[in-house]
């Protein structure tokens, strides 16, 4: 086919991309019977308009590409998606990161992997990450967000105590919580 006018060509390119999502510059040039230089010029114009994205060797329709989704890590232990509210993250000496869905799996992960040297968990009230070794845990409260028994992480003992008074469970230090978890070894995900 011949498309003599840039505008016509560009519309044709968009139409093909709508059905295919992706096309190489060469394929477009031969379908349009124009040089690859011309195709590049057309693509530059379309890219500037935000309609397409030039990629190595070709072009992609912008809308055909799903919006870049935030990568959701999965739990190293139970393979559930890691909920933002209960994120637990451990690191080995090489800086490699391991995620757990909540402090329940996190504490078990640490118990089973001695090479994990540091870990952070999300404070249940304030949402910031805290060093797990200094955190306080409320185990087996009525609040079940993830795994059972529920293990929630708090920065301070006062908050953990207040939470415990309202929602039950036991307040524990890191060592106590780790010990407790390795003896109630159920990795059950709700
Ligand atoms: Zn898990
Ligand atoms: Zn969990």
Q: Which pLDDT does position 117 carry in this prediction?
A: 87
CA of 100 to the centre of ligand 1 (A): 5
pLDDT confidence tier of residue 69, bands split at 50, 70 and 90: low
pLDDT digits (tens, 9 = 90+) for 89-141: 999 988 889 999 999 999 999 998 989 989 999 999 999 999 999 999 999 99
Ligand number with the minimum distance to the CA of 151: 2
CA of 20 to the centre of ligand 2 (A): 40
Lowest-confidence region among 38-52, 60-74, 159-173: 60-74
Q: Which pLDDT does position 146 carry in this prediction?
A: 93
Say if 1 falls within a structural domain.
no
CA of 173 to the centre of ligand 1 (A): 20
Token pair 């509210």 in the structure block, residue: 85
Say if 121 falls within a structural domain.
yes
To the nearest whole percent, how much of the chain has pLDDT over 70?
Answer: 90
CA of 187 to the centre of ligand 1 (A): 7
Residue 48: pLDDT above 50? yes
CA of 116 to the centre of ligand 2 (A): 18
Nearest to 25 by CA among 49, 47, 50: 47
pLDDT digits (tens, 9 = 90+) for 133-171: 999 999 999 999 999 999 999 999 999 999 999 999 999
Mean pLDDT over residues 53-65, rounded? 71
CA distance 88 to 41: 49
17 & 98 share domain: no
Q: Which pLDDT does position 64 carry in this prediction?
A: 44
Count of domains observed in the chain:
2
Domain with 37 in it: what CATH number?
1.10.10.10
CA of 147 to the centre of ligand 2 (A): 4
15 & 101 share domain: no
35 & 125 share domain: no
pTM for the model: 0.62
CA of 189 to the centre of ligand 2 (A): 6
Inter-residue contact 13 to 46 (CB < 8 Å): yes
16 & 93 share domain: no
CA of 93 to the centre of ligand 2 (A): 24
Identify the domain containing residue 96 by its residue range. 84-189
Nearest to 47 by CA among 33, 60, 66: 60
CA of 6 to the centre of ligand 2 (A): 56
54 & 88 share domain: no
CA of 156 to the centre of ligand 1 (A): 24
CA of 120 to the centre of ligand 2 (A): 15
185 & 91 share domain: yes
CA distance 103 to 101: 7
Q: Which pLDDT does position 21 carry in this prediction?
A: 78
Lowest-confidence region among 2-6, 15-19, 108-112: 2-6
CA distance 134 to 132: 5
CA of 37 to the centre of ligand 2 (A): 54
């Amino acid at each position: 086919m011949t498309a003599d006018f840039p505008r016509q060509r560009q519309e044709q390119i968009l139409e093909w991309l709508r059905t295919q999502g992706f096309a190489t510059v060469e394929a477009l040039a031969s379908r349009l019977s124009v040089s690859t230089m011309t195709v590049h010029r057309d693509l530059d114009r379309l890219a500037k308009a935000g309609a397409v994205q030039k990629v190595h060797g070709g072009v992609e329709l912008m809308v055909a590409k799903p919006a870049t989704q935030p990568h959701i890590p999965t739990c190293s232990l139970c393979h559930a998606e890691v909920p933002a509210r209960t994120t637990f993250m451990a690191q080995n000496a090489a800086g490699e990161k391991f995620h757990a869905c909540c402090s329940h799996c996190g504490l078990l992960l640490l118990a089973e992997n001695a090479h994990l040297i540091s870990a952070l968990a999300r404070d249940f009230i304030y949402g910031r990450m805290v060093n797990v070794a200094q955190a306080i845990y409320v185990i087996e409260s009525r609040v079940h967000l993830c795994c059972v028994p529920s293990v929630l992480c708090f920065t301070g003992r006062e908050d953990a105590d207040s939470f415990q008074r309202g929602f039950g469970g036991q307040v524990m230090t890191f060592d106590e919580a780790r010990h407790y978890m390795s003896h109630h070894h159920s990795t059950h995900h709700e």
